[in-house]
Structure 1
Amino acid sequence: MKRREFLTNTAATSALIGLGGLGLNSCSSIGRKHITILHTNDVHSHIDPFPNSHSLYANLGGIARRATLVESIRNENPNTLLFDAGDIFQGTPYFNFYGGELEFKLMSKLNYDAATIGNHDFDNGVDGLLAQVPHASFELLSANYDFSNTVMDGFVKPFKIYQVDGVKIGVYGLGIALDGLVTKRLYKETLYLNPFEIASDMEHKLKEEEQCDLVICLSHLGYDYENPERPSDTQLAQRTHYTNLIIGGHTHTFLDKPDIRTNKNGDSVLINQVGAFGINLGRIDFYFDQDKNASVNGVSISV
């Protein structure tokens, strides 16, 4: 396994993230409680490794290797959560043949905790997505897709709260505008709600009402765009108050290190995205002291 240290001993490592003293630090031994967040995005039905002859990703990826890596990390730290930031479907014949069943079954075998919904997850329509829901043991989270008038109503939650070793972690999901990316006949009456407004509602609920120690967004908005008005993870980070970590997808962005942006409170927000096709696994480690102040490390692991 190749490891790329995302956070090095630079000025960025001293940035504060959110409230309560959460900050980035390169020391992995700080704190009494250790929470590990693992994540993927835009796997696009890549079950097998890339072949040795591939020009870019030779012999990388594959869900079997990811399963081995995840198991190893969980053995190292049982207080581990595993998330996906969308576009689970579409990209190989596995999806064309099985319609997403295999992807959801294998993610369930890996004990994913939650995933948000990407635009390609509608490629067999809302009916096709619903058909695969029984194969998912993990939560589907999306706060800004309103499925009320579709068959998916009741099968997607806006957020979920996890209690891990006494640390309360709130996770919500956001999706990209479907118009122009997905044919209307596929997403039907699914309503797209303003992600900035919904994120504000979600983080205030999770932080102020639910008293979460850590707030995470699973985003399929995309990392960044030339148009500053187009919703993106970088824009989201700057418009939030309490979101500590944005796990991104959609733009297939291979970040050399997690990006750090300043939110409305003047605190920093961590943004991470690990490319596509399951060739990398993102890992973020939080170390909480007895007062719930935390330091953070990030690495990207080539699978």
Structure 2
Amino acid sequence: MMIMRRLLLTMAALAAFTAAQAQDLVILHMNDTHSHVDPERSGKHAGKGGAIEQAAYIDEVRSEVGKKNVLLVHAGDFSQGTSYFTELGGDMEISLLNAMGYDAVALGNHEFDNGMEELARRLKSLKAVPVCANYDFTGTPLEKLVKPYTIVRKAGRKIGIIGLLPDLMDVVDASIASQITFIAPDKVVDEYAVYLKDEKDCDLVVVLSHLGYEGEPYTDRELVAVTRNVDVIVGGHSHTKLKDKKVFKNVDGEDVVVVTDWKWGLQVGRLDIDF
């Protein structure tokens, strides 16, 4: 009887330890906040959004599930759109990303609006890793600042995060866009995703995509269909408002979750992942 009791206690302790090691993951995500630091002042969204509201929600979720189980990411275009950017040059936005404790940040096209050197100046103050895999920044001020991917440990898991940008020639001043080389997103995603899974032993691969949800070349929906080894795409650029996550099949017929979080910081997206 004593032996059986000890065995049951050992099994219970092991189960509790295993549960503690494999927590569910919560991904909090934003995109296209466009320097909207304050709540909206007019229109149908008056009173909504703003950094204070965002930070309060992020803190609430971290308290609910534990900070170690929350991945906070931004899918680009945190710059440009209000006087905070035009008057202060984007420093406020970097300060807010730091204060909220972002784990990884993708670049959007509007991050380049004031030029490469000015963007590099701001990124030097960013605590999160700025990621972009489908541009060659060799010989530019961004060369050592922007990484193709980063790896974050959350919920007891290794999470690989890849960044993507659209072709900037159509959306950024040509004198700026011509300094860097665009690479087709599907090629780099496959390359880095398999590397993160096979060589770096990542449990999850997340793409922070500023390609847009649909309607343009290399969109999130199109990307899913021609790639593999990606588990989640957190999108931006198109200001798409989704009521819920979307699930599409990749080239191997496996499910890939796609989320995107509208615009201006009017809401903070939440995706719960049960390992």
TM, length-normalised to structure 2: 0.89
Residues 22-171 of structure 1 aligned to structure 2 (within 5 Å): 32-51=22-41, 54-77=42-65, 78=67, 79-171=69-161
Query: Contact 2:210–2:235 (CA<8 Å) still a contact in 1?
Result: yes
2:236 alignment partner, one of 236, 243, 249: 249
**What secondary structure does 1:135 align onto?**
coil
**What secondary structure does 2:207 align onto?**
strand
Matched, 1:273 2:260: yes
In structure 2, give the amino acid aligned to 1:44.
H
In structure 1, give the amino acid aligned to 2:264.
F
Q: What is the identity percentage for the equivalent residue pairs of Structure 1 and Structure 2? A: 36
**Aligned counterparts of 1:246 and 1:165: Cα–Cα separation in 2:** 19
Matched, 1:284 2:274: no
What RMSD over aligned residues (CA atoms) do the two structures have, in Å?
A: 1.5
**More off after superposition, 125-134 vs 168-177:** 125-134
Query: Contact 2:211–2:218 (CA<8 Å) still a contact in 1?
Result: yes
2:226 alignment partner, one of 239, 244, 248: 239
**What secondary structure does 2:124 align onto?**
helix
Cα deviation digits, residues 208-254 of structure 1 (max 9, x gap): 211211110000000001x6xx1100001111211010000000000
Cα deviation digits, residues 171-223 of structure 1 (max 9, x gap): 10010000111112233411111111011111111112112111100000000
Cα deviation digits, residues 258-278 of structure 1 (max 9, x gap): 111100111111111110000
Distance 1:275 1:165, change over 3 A: closer
**Aligned counterparts of 2:204 and 2:169: Cα–Cα separation in 1:** 32
Query: Contact 2:22–2:156 (CA<8 Å) still a contact in 1?
Result: no
**Aligned counterparts of 2:228 and 2:176: Cα–Cα separation in 1:** 34
In structure 2, give the amino acid aligned to 1:261.
F
Normalized per residue, the structure richer in helix is 2
In structure 2, give the amino acid aligned to 1:270.
V
Unaligned runs of 5+ in 2: 1-18
**Aligned counterparts of 2:125 and 2:39: Cα–Cα separation in 1:** 23
**Aligned counterparts of 2:214 and 2:168: Cα–Cα separation in 1:** 17
**Aligned counterparts of 1:117 and 1:186: Cα–Cα separation in 2:** 15
Cα deviation digits, residues 116-168 of structure 1 (max 9, x gap): 11111100011110111232111100001111021111100101111224211
Q: CA deviation at 1:32?
A: 4.6
Matched, 1:198 2:193: no
Higher relative contact order (CA 8 A, sep 6+): 1
Q: CA deviation at 1:56?
A: 2.7
**What secondary structure does 1:33 align onto?**
coil
In structure 1, give the amino acid aligned to 2:43.
S
What is the aligned partner in structure 1 of residue 8 from structure 2?
none
**Aligned counterparts of 1:231 and 1:161: Cα–Cα separation in 2:** 24
**What secondary structure does 1:280 align onto?**
coil
**Aligned counterparts of 1:65 and 1:170: Cα–Cα separation in 2:** 28
Matched, 1:221 2:208: no
Q: CA deviation at 1:81?
A: 1.1
Query: Contact 1:150–1:188 (CA<8 Å) still a contact in 2?
Result: no
**Aligned counterparts of 1:131 and 1:160: Cα–Cα separation in 2:** 20
Normalized per residue, the structure richer in strand is 1
Cα deviation digits, residues 42-97 of structure 1 (max 9, x gap): 0000000002xx32312110001111110111111221110000011100000001
TM, length-normalised to structure 1: 0.81
